Structure 1
C-alpha cells in the first residue's frame, strides 16, 4: 500500500508515492513540463486559475501512477503541500469567483501597512506575531474594496491547499497553520483574529471549518475520484504550506532546528517555541506543522530574494555557454577565500524584506580589472549569497532562535562546497544535506496521520542523507571577509 503527496507550486505541481510500510519513496514526477502561466494584468499583480491547478493535479496523478506502475486502489491516503499566502474565493456552490491572487502579488501592500498602523503595531505583533502585510486577508480586503460585486458572492475564503482539498472532498476546510500564514490567527487568544476581520469589515463566517494539520480532513468524493483517478473514500490526511512542509520534509520540528532552501530565492526557516517576536517586518512567524497551544512550535521565516537567481545570472552572462553549475563551482574553487578582495551584495531581485523592504539592486565592490577574472566573479557571487544567509541567521538569532542544526535540500547552491562551507563555518553548525522533496514529505505526513508511522521521525529514511558539511577549523579568514562584506552592506543600505 502507498500514500500520495502533492506539492502545488506556482510553476508546476510535483507528486510522489511512498511505501506505507517503509516510508521509502518509489516515484516522483511533476506536471506540467513548462511553467504554469502567471497572469499579470497590471504591474505587481500575479494571479493563477485555481481550476487549472486542479486539472494539473489530476494529470500529474495519472502520470505518476503510469510511471510507477502502481494501481490506484493501492493508495491509502493523500497529503497536500501548497504555495503559501494565496487567496481563493468560492461561492455557495463552491465555484471559484475569480483567479487566485497568489503569493508574489503585491497589490495589497498598502492595505496591510495601513491596517498595521491603524490597529497598532503592539497589538499585531503580540497577537498575530506579524504585520498583516501583503498576506491573504489583506488580499481579500483588496477584493472587497475593488470588486464589491464579487465580494458579495463570497461564501468561503481558501488558501491554495484548501482549494485542492475542497475539490477532493467537497468540504471547505482549513488549518491553524494555514490561517497563521494568511495572518488570520490570534496566537494569544488561540482562535481566528476576529478583531482583525472586524477592522477590515470582513465577516469571520468566511473562514472554513478548521481541521488539524494531521487528521482525516475529508474523503475523496465519487466525482473527484472519476476526475483524478484515485479511489473514492480515501482520506486527505495532511495539509501545509510549502515552507512549513519543506521543514517537515527535512525532519525539522524542534526548537533550534533550521530548514534552509537555496532556490531562485533563499529561505531560512527556524523552529522556535517562543510566541513572541521583535521582528514583525523582516521575519514572518507562522504556526509550524506540529504547533499546538500547549506545545507551541513557531516557524520563523526569513526570505532572501537575491539568492540562486544571482548564480543563475552568472551562468547566463558570465560563465561559458558549455559550463554547468558544477563547472562553475570548480572554477570558483580555484580562487582563495575572499575572492582576492572582490565582494558582491546579491540583492538584485526586488525589495528585500530582510533589508526593511529596500530595493537598491545588487552591488559589486573592489572590482579590479587587472586582477579579477571570471573565477573571482563566480566565487564572490557564491560568497555573497552565503553571507546573506549568515546575515539572515544572525537576524533570527537576535529574535530568539537558539541554533542547533541546519538541514537543507540537495539543490544547486547547497551542492557548492564554497557556499555550504562558508555558512557552516561562520555559524559554527553542521549542515546536513538531504535528498527529498515537498511532495515526498507530504506523502509521509499522510502516513503519520494514518498511523503507519508512530512518529514523524520514524517516517524518514537515513538513505536520503547525502552528506554533511562541517565547520572548517580556519574560521578567522572567513570572519574577516564576512566583516568587510557586512560593512559594505551597511554603507549601501544606510545611505
Structure 2
C-alpha cells in the first residue's frame, strides 16, 4: 500500500509516493519543469492563479503514478503541505473569485500595523501570539477595502492547501493550524479570533468548517479521480503549512528542537511551549502539527525573505552556470571575504527588520582586489549571518535551541553556509535526506498520533551528516561583527 504527498510551493508543486509500511520513497517529482509564474501587477504584490496549481497537481500525480510503476488502486491516502499565509476566495459555486494573494505579497502591511496599534500589543500577544501583520486576515481586509465587488461574492475564504483539498474532495474545510497561520486564531479562548474579525468587519460566516490535522478530511471525488488518476474514495488524512510540515518531516516536535530551511527564503522554526512571547511582530507563532487543545505546542517562526534568492540572483547574472562552480570559487576565498559584505535583503519587506524593505547592498568592494569568488562567498556568508541575526532575536525572547535540523538541499548543501551558521550559533546542524512532499505522504498515516515512532524512523533512515561548530571561530565572529555593523548603519539611515 502507498501514500501520496503534495507540497504546494510558490515555485513548483512537489509530489511524492511512499510505501505505507516503511515510509520508503518510491518516487518524487515536481511540476512544472521551470518555475510557476508569480504575478506582480503592482509593486510589492505577488499573486498566483489557483487553477494553475490544480493543473500541475493533476499533471504531477499522473506522472508520479506512471513513474512509480505501481497499481494506483493501492494508493490509500493523501497528505498535503502548502505555502502558508495565502488567501484564496471562493464563490458559492466553489470557483476562485480572483488570484490567490500569496505569502510574499506585501500590500497589507499597513493594515496589519494599524490593527496591531489599535488592538494593542497585550491583546495581540496574549490571544493571537502575533501581530496581525501582513497575513491572511489582513489580506482579506485589503480585499474588503479595495475590491468590495469581489468581497461581496465570497462564500468562503481558504488557504492554498485548503484549495487543493477542496479540488480533490469537493469539501471546503480548513484547520486550526491553518487559521493560526493566517492570524485568525485566539489561543486564549481556543477559538476563531472573533475580536480581530470584528475589528476588520469580516463576516464570521466566511470562515470554513474546521477539521483536525490528522483525520479524514474528505474523500477523492469522481472528477478529481478522473483528472489525477487517484482512486475514487480515498481520504485526505493530513494537511499543514509548509514550515510546520517541514519541521515534522525533520523530526522536530519538541521544545528545543529547531528546523531550518534555506530555499528562496530562509526560515528558522523553533518548537516551544512558551505561550508568552515578547516578540510578536518580528517573530511569528503558529500552532504546530502536534498541538492539541490539552497540550499547546507552538512553532516560533522567523522568516528571512532575502535568502537563497540572493544567491540565485548572483548565479543568473554571472558567468557561472551552476551553484557548484560558484561554491568552488567561494571556497578559495578566506573567511570574511577579505572585507566584502553582502546585505541580502532584496526580496521585499523583512519581518525581522520590523517590515522594513532595505534592499540588497554590496559593501566594501575593491575593484583592484576582489573578484567574483569574493562576491559568491560574501553572499553565502551574508545569508548565513542573516540566519544568525535572526537566531539572536529568538534567543533574546527566551527561545531554547538544543538542536537544529535541515533538509539536504538548497543552501545547506553549501559547506560555507552551513559551517558559518553552526560555528556562530554554537550548535550542531543535522542534515536529513527528506522533502516536504515525502513528509506529507508519510504524515498521511499518522492518525494514531505516535510522533515518537514517526521521528525515530526519520532519525534512523534519513540522517545524512552533521555539521559541527568549528573550534577556530574567531574569523567567523569578526566577519559577523563586520556584517552587523554594515547592516546597522544601513538601518540607521534608511
The TM-score bracket by the shorter chain reads over 0.9
Aligned equivalent of 1:221: 221
Once the two structures are superposed, residues 422-478 of structure 1 have per-residue CA deviations (whole angstroms, 9 ceiling, x without a partner) of 111111111111121111000000011268988431552634222111011112232
CA–CA distance in 2 between the matches of 1:69 and 1:451? 31
Once the two structures are superposed, residues 251-285 of structure 1 have per-residue CA deviations (whole angstroms, 9 ceiling, x without a partner) of 11111111111112211111111112211221111
Aligned equivalent of 1:415: 413
CA–CA distance in 1 between the matches of 2:451 and 2:63? 27
Residue 43 to residue 313, structure 1, CA distance change in 2 (3 Å) = closer
Q: Is the 1:444–1:459 Cα contact (8 Å) retained in structure 2?
A: no
TM-score normalized with structure 1 length? 0.95
CA–CA distance in 1 between the matches of 2:290 and 2:425? 26
Aligned equivalent of 1:402: 400
Aligned equivalent of 2:370: 372
Q: Pick the aligned partner of 1:361 from 352, 355, 359.
A: 359
CA–CA distance in 2 between the matches of 1:300 and 1:454? 21
Q: Is the 2:258–2:404 Cα contact (8 Å) retained in structure 1?
A: yes
CA–CA distance in 1 between the matches of 2:12 and 2:79? 17
User: CA shift at 1:178, angstroms?
Assistant: 0.1
SS at match of 2:447: helix
Residue 98 to residue 349, structure 1, CA distance change in 2 (3 Å) = closer
User: CA shift at 1:333, angstroms?
Assistant: 1.8
Give the alignment of 1:376-455 within 5 angstroms: 376-449=374-447, 455=453
SS at match of 2:294: coil
CA–CA distance in 1 between the matches of 2:301 and 2:450? 30
Q: Is the 2:106–2:348 Cα contact (8 Å) retained in structure 1?
A: no
Once the two structures are superposed, residues 85-119 of structure 1 have per-residue CA deviations (whole angstroms, 9 ceiling, x without a partner) of 11112233323222222222222222222222222
Q: Is the 2:116–2:131 Cα contact (8 Å) retained in structure 1?
A: yes
CA–CA distance in 2 between the matches of 1:377 and 1:99? 37
Structure 1 residues without counterparts, runs of 5 or longer: none
Aligned equivalent of 2:70: 70
Aligned equivalent of 2:306: 306
Q: Is the 2:50–2:96 Cα contact (8 Å) retained in structure 1?
A: yes
Once the two structures are superposed, residues 339-382 of structure 1 have per-residue CA deviations (whole angstroms, 9 ceiling, x without a partner) of 23333222222222211222232233333334333332222222
Aligned equivalent of 2:237: 237
Once the two structures are superposed, residues 216-265 of structure 1 have per-residue CA deviations (whole angstroms, 9 ceiling, x without a partner) of 11211233222222112211110001111111111111111111111122
CA–CA distance in 1 between the matches of 2:345 and 2:100? 28
SS at match of 1:278: coil
SS at match of 1:447: coil
Give the alignment of 1:226-375 within 5 angstroms: 226-318=226-318, 320-322=319-321, 324-375=322-373
Q: Is the 1:257–1:271 Cα contact (8 Å) retained in structure 2?
A: yes
CA–CA distance in 1 between the matches of 2:276 and 2:466? 32
SS at match of 1:259: strand
CA–CA distance in 2 between the matches of 1:166 and 1:421? 42
SS at match of 1:392: helix
Residue 479 to residue 459, structure 1, CA distance change in 2 (3 Å) = same
CA–CA distance in 2 between the matches of 1:17 and 1:214? 18
CA–CA distance in 1 between the matches of 2:435 and 2:289? 16
Give the alignment of 1:130-145 within 5 angstroms: 130-145=130-145
Aligned equivalent of 1:27: 27
CA–CA distance in 2 between the matches of 1:452 and 1:223? 34
TM-score normalized with structure 2 length? 0.95
Q: Is the 1:85–1:159 Cα contact (8 Å) retained in structure 2?
A: yes
Aligned equivalent of 1:177: 177
Aligned-residue Cα RMSD (Å) equals: 1.9
Residue 400 to residue 328, structure 1, CA distance change in 2 (3 Å) = same
Q: Is the 1:23–1:461 Cα contact (8 Å) retained in structure 2?
A: no
Aligned equivalent of 2:193: 193
CA–CA distance in 2 between the matches of 1:128 and 1:224? 36
Work out whether 1:86 is the aligned partner of 2:83: no
Residue 370 to residue 46, structure 1, CA distance change in 2 (3 Å) = closer
Residue 454 to residue 429, structure 1, CA distance change in 2 (3 Å) = closer
CA–CA distance in 1 between the matches of 2:442 and 2:226? 25
Aligned equivalent of 1:2: 2
Aligned residues: 493
Residue 367 to residue 41, structure 1, CA distance change in 2 (3 Å) = closer
Q: Is the 1:20–1:452 Cα contact (8 Å) retained in structure 2?
A: no
